[in-house]
Amino acid sequence: MTTVEDFKVKSHELLMELDAATSDMMTLICAHQMTGAAWDEAVRRQHEAYEQWVGYLNEGS
């Protein structure tokens, strides 16, 4: 069973990855680099980070 503290720590870790992935995407947008391999990887990373965070949040409900 996950304690409240364990939940907070894991949720924070996942949220930090989501924030970093989103920041990387925004950097590419600012540089007008919204095509190509770097963009595709950034989109994949951000999507995966979001899915992992939401999935973890929904495990407890």
Specify the pLDDT at position 41.
98
pTM across the whole model: 0.88
Query: Per-residue pLDDT tens for 8-53?
Result: 999 999 999 999 999 999 999 999 999 999 999 999 999 999 999 9
Specify the pLDDT at position 26.
98
Specify the pLDDT at position 1.
56
Smallest Cα–Cα separation from 21: which of 52, 56, 48, 57? 48
Specify the pLDDT at position 61.
64
**CA-to-CA separations, 26 to 3, 12, 30, 46, 47, in angstroms, rounded:** 34, 21, 6, 11, 14
Q: Is the per-residue pLDDT at 60 higher than 70?
A: no
Residues 44, 21: Cα–Cα separation, whole Å = 9
